[in-house]
Amino acid sequence: MSPLTDFDLKERVRMAIDIVDVIGSHLELTPQGRGFVARCPWHDDRRPSLQVNPQRQTWKCWVCDIGGDIFSFVMRRDGVDFGSALRLLADKAGIEYRTASGKKAAPGSPDDKATLLAAMKFAATAYVEYLENDGSPETLRARQYLDERGISPESRQLFQIGLAPSGWSWLLDEARRAGISAEVLQAAGLAVARPGGNGFYDLFRGRLMFPIIDLQDRPISLGGRIIPGTESASSGAKYINGPETRLFSKSRQLYGLNLARAAMQRSGQVLVMEGYTDVIAARQAGVEPVVAVLGTALGERHIEILQRFVDRVVLVLDGDEAGRRRADSVLELFVGAKVDLRIITLPGGADPADFIGQHGREAFEKLAAEAPDALDHKLATLIDGVDLTRDTHRATAAIEKMLAVLARGGDPNALRTSQMLVRLSRTFAIPTEQLRNQLVQRISNQPRRAALPASHAPERVERRPPAAKLQPISGIDRELFEIMIEYPEAAAQIIEMIDPAWLLTDSARMLMQVYQDLELHGKELDLATVLLSVENEQLKNIIVGLDEAIQQRAEFITQPCQQRLADVLQRYHRSQATAETQRQLALLEASRSDDDSAAELLSDIIAAQRLQMGIRPQ
């Protein structure tokens, strides 16, 4: 995206959204001076050190040396690229933009995403209010059950747990009174159509409700759990998840990600569990980077999302047979993808909530820290209880299975594969080369993998590419841009005076290019506009750093703009002249034998020096 693409959209978004709201909905802000501060989620911050400047609409953490505007905050918070951050903020501001399909559904229609989000929010809130405020026997029983499970009132609030009454049309009736149609509830996955066009009924009845909340803190689906000892407990599955809708796709969403995100970014790891209550129990015990998959196995899309925030994924499995099978199903992810995937199998068939309850947080964190990677885990399960020297049949079977797994990776020389071959060689006393040959054989025999079918995407989010590190802007360049930021009205004139070739770093030349583009298109040259047309996070940070430095020492500088500018120009001219003198002196040195041309060069140098004096401003 070029800096001026979507400039109007960017500008509308910037005008509509206050940075204090964006950051304040994510971090706790405390007033300080003319702005706010918060604990920075990207380092272990006790101070708080993240500053928010409402006048400039910027943020900055000097400890991490990061900062920028609303866009770069969302890019960093959600691990997305600029385009995704822009769409997300446009959504938040209710600003329309052209999507890939180009079609826009009417508000109130079941095809309209904003309408579905509003319906989902309405339902989630209604369920919470019912659980917390109703005095019926079923709510009393539900609250009692949560107490028995050790789920605290704080957790109820944090995870927005609710209760769906046991009637068939409670939500439908409540929604109708609020002007939400049955068709919209159905499209949101909250109501089901009766056969034969005979109206609708509530999907969730007599269940504890766990909203699935996306990274923008919006409920997008709900999961329901039956309550033992109630009428509805005898009917249906223990858990039901909401269906796939325009808002929700179980292969792309994780329970608790909104709450775990900050801790994930801080610790670089995430624990993936299998149930809502496991996540809640872990969180209550103080283990924060925890999410759960939603009625599906951990898949490629989940990994893509998690990798935006962490580089280590620890899958926590129940120690039962089902857990073992799931460990197998993720092996391919591990061999194929570039993720450090670890597996914990809890001892004695315990689930995470039981385990943490019995052994405590430290024991659980130790287990996570020592978790073997997925391949080691697989090998350990295969040879568990096998006497490798005697039981050659089972030993061979184990080798075959491991080679089959490695073959799915497709590359016999991949680092992880090579490490595993060495490990197998040691375990089974077979030469590594022999194992590698068998593996190569297997790889060439296996059918080529078909491309994965493109699953329907509720929202395409591009992962933020790692950016090349930009040098800081320093020296004369720094003084130049500080003047341009402080006196935007003088910036157009300054652009004319500066040859970008004089600038010392790429970052300085990039920033000058931004000013030139804006000038060329007749845009303002103030801080807000400059920030808006920069999409590079690091450059945004550099600009905000300059601006903050100006703000902090504004009162000490008494020199007028023109004087400072004259000094800067003089320094540039001098350094250019010095560079030219040095170049000519080098030439002179090289051509010492040729007296005529040496004399000619010398007079050029003197002339250049005179010229430099002459152009020195008065």
Q: Which residues lie near Zn ion (CB under 5 A)?
A: 40, 42-43, 61, 63-64
Least Cβ distance, residue 538 to Zn ion (angstroms): 15
How do 290-292 and 269-273 pair as beta strands?
parallel
- In 10 A of CB 237, how many CB atoms? 10
Tokens found for residue 135: 């005095």
Least Cβ distance, residue 74 to Zn ion (angstroms): 16
Give the DSSP H/E element, type plus range, for residue 599: helix 595-615
Q: Kindly give the interhelix angle for 113-133 and 170-177, rounded to the nearest 10 degrees.
A: 120
Buried b (16+ CB within 10 A) or exposed e, 138-153: bbebbbebbeeeebee
- Edge-first strand order for the sheet with 269-273 is 290-292, 269-273, 312-317, 340-345
Tokens 């047309």 found at: 533
Least Cβ distance, residue 128 to Zn ion (angstroms): 33
Residue closer to Zn ion (CB basis): 64 or 601: 64
Residue closer to Zn ion (CB basis): 143 or 266: 266
Residue 223 phi/psi, 5-degree rounding, is: -115, 145
Residue closer to Zn ion (CB basis): 503 or 543: 543
Least Cβ distance, residue 50 to Zn ion (angstroms): 6
DSSP 101: S
Tokens found for residue 32: 């300080």
Least Cβ distance, residue 64 to Zn ion (angstroms): 3
Tokens 């040098």 found at: 471
Beta-carbon contacts of 261 under 8 Å, excluding residues fewer than 6 positions away, are 77, 215, 309
Of the candidates 350, 347, 357, 257, the residue with the CA atom closest to the CA atom of residue 307 = 257
Least Cβ distance, residue 537 to Zn ion (angstroms): 14
Sequence length of the chain is 618
Least Cβ distance, residue 536 to Zn ion (angstroms): 19
Beta-carbon contacts of 26 under 8 Å, excluding residues fewer than 6 positions away, are 41, 77
Least Cβ distance, residue 531 to Zn ion (angstroms): 19
Q: Give the dihedral of Cα atoms 462, 463, 464, 465; nearest 10 deg.
A: -100
Long-range contacts formed by 552-555: CB under 8 A, 24+ apart: 554/486
Buried b (16+ CB within 10 A) or exposed e, 93-102: eebeeeeeee
Tokens found for residue 333: 């992810």
Start-to-end C-alpha separation, the chain: 44
| Cα Dmax for the chain | 109
Least Cβ distance, residue 41 to Zn ion (angstroms): 8
Residue closer to Zn ion (CB basis): 7 or 42: 42
Least Cβ distance, residue 308 to Zn ion (angstroms): 18
Residue closer to Zn ion (CB basis): 64 or 350: 64
Tokens found for residue 133: 């405020």
Least Cβ distance, residue 366 to Zn ion (angstroms): 28
Q: Are 151 and 277 in contact (CB under 8 A)?
A: yes
Q: Are 241 and 294 in contact (CB under 8 A)?
A: yes
Least Cβ distance, residue 44 to Zn ion (angstroms): 9
